[in-house]
Structure 1
Amino acid sequence: MTHRFELVGDTKVAIFDGHVDNEIIAHTIATYRTQKKNDEPFGLMNLNTVVEHFLDWKLQLPRVEPFYAVKCNNDPVLLKTLADLGTGFDCASKAEINMILDGNLAPTDKIIYAHPCKTRSFIEHARKYNVKMMTFDNEEELQKINGLYPDAELVLRIAVSDPSAQCPLGIKFGCEPSEVAPKLLQKSAAMGMKVIGISFHVGSGCNDPAAFQLAISYARNLFDIGKSMDHDMYLLDIGGGFPGNDHEKFSRFASIIRTNIDEYFPPSENVRIIAEPGRYFASASISITTNIISATKVPASRITKDDGDSDKDGYMYYMNDGVYGSFNCILFDHFQPTGRPLFPSSDIIPSEEYPTTVWGPTCDGLDQVEKETKMRRMQVGEWLYYPDMGAYTKVCATNFNGFEPPTYYYFMDNTTWSYMYAMENGH
Structure 2
Amino acid sequence: MGQIHKILQAVVEAPTLRDKITSLPKDGLTSFVQSLILHHHHSKEPFYVLDLGVVADLMDNWTRSLPMVRPFYAVKCNPNPALLAAMATLDMGFDCASQAEIESVLALGVSPDRIIFANPCKLESHIKYAASVGVDLTTFDSAFEVEKIREFHPKSALLIRIKPPDDGGAMWPLDSKYGALPEEVEPLLQAAQAAQLPVIGVSFHIGSRVADSSAYALAIEAAKKVFETTAQLGMPPMRVLDIGGGFMAGKQFEEAASTIRADLKTYFPDTTGMSLVAEPGRFFVESAFTLTANIIGKRVRRELREYWINDGVYGSLMCGALFEPRNLTCKPLACNSSSENPTCEGAKTYSSTVFGPTLDALDTVMKGHGLPELEVNDWLVFPNMGAYSSALSSNFNGFNTVAFSTYLACSNPS
2: CA distance between counterparts of 1:13 and 1:414?
A: 16
Shift of 1:347: 8.6
Structure 2 distance, partners of 1:379, 1:415, is 35
Say if 2:75 and 2:95, in contact at 8 Å, map to a contact too: yes
Query: Counterparts of 1:380-399 in structure 2 under 5 Å?
Result: 380-399=376-395
1:148-172 superposed Cα distances (whole Å, 9 cap, x missing partner): 2222101000111526212111001
Matched, 1:81 2:86: yes
Shift of 1:195: 0.3
Q: Which residue does the alignment assign to 1:317? A: 307
Residue aligning to 1:252: 255
- In structure 1, the gaps of 5 or more residues are 300-312, 417-427
**Residues 124 and 401 of structure 1: CA distance in aligned 2, closer, same or farther (over 3 Å):** same
Partner in structure 1 of residue 147 of structure 2: 143
Quote the residue 1:404 is aligned against. 400
Deviation, 1:386, is 0.4
CA distance in 2, matches of 1:338, 1:12: 32
Pairing of 1:17-416 with structure 2 (within 5 A): 18-19=25-26, 21-32=28-39, 38-104=43-109, 106-160=110-164, 161-162=166-167, 164-176=169-181, 178-229=182-233, 230-243=235-248, 246-299=249-302, 313-330=303-320, 334=324, 336-342=327-333, 351-405=347-401, 406-413=404-411
How far residue 60 of structure 1 moved from its aligned partner, in angstroms, is 0.4
Give structure 2 stretches of 5+ with no counterpart.
1-11
SS in 1 for 2:95: strand
What is the rounded CA distance, in whole Å, between the counterparts of 2:306 and 2:321 in structure 1? 21
Q: Residues of 2 paired with 1:190 and 1:79: CA distance?
A: 38
Instruction: Give the deviation of 1:352 after TM superposition.
Output: 2.1
Moved more, 348-357 or 159-168: 348-357
1:14 and 2:5 correspond:
no
1:142-198 CA distance string (max 9 Å, x none) = 12111222221010001115262121110011111x211122112222332210000
Aligned counterpart, 2:4: none
User: Per the alignment, in what secondary structure is the counterpart of residue 179 of structure 1?
Assistant: helix
Corresponding residue for residue 420 of structure 1: none
Alpha-carbon RMSD across the aligned residues, in angstroms, is 2.5
SS across alignment from 1:208? coil
Structure 2 counterpart SS, 1:317: strand
Per-residue deviation, 1:403:
2.9
SS of the equivalent of 1:146 reads helix
Change (3 A) 1:12 1:167: farther
Q: CA deviation at 1:203?
A: 0.5
* TM-score, length basis structure 2: 0.88
- How far, CA to CA, are the matches of 1:21 and 1:227 in structure 2? 56
- Distance in 2, matches of 1:371 and 1:239, equals 34
Partners of 2:304 and 2:266 in 1: how far apart? 56
Q: Which moved more, 1:330-339 or 1:45-54?
A: 330-339
- Structure 1 CA distance for aligned equivalents of residues 148 and 341 of structure 2: 68
Quote the residue 1:424 is aligned against: none
Inter-partner Cα distance in structure 2 for 1:70 and 1:368: 27
Report if aligned partners of 2:51, 2:411 keep a CA contact under 8 Å in 1.
Answer: no
Distance 1:354 1:268 in 2: 57
TM superposition shift of 1:260 = 0.8
Q: Secondary structure of 2:317's partner?
A: helix
Which amino acid is the alignment partner of residue 48 of structure 2?
G
Kindly tell me the number of residue pairs found equivalent between the two proteins: 393
The alignment-based identity, stated in percent, is 37
Question: Letter of the aligned partner of 1:274 in structure 2?
Answer: V
Structure 2: distance between partners of 1:263 and 1:171: 28
- AA aligned to 1:9 is T
Residues 108 and 19 (structure 1 numbering): CA distance in 2 closer, same or farther, change over 3 Å? Answer: same
**Alignment-mate amino acid for residue 407 of structure 1:** S
| TM-score, L = length of structure 1 | 0.86
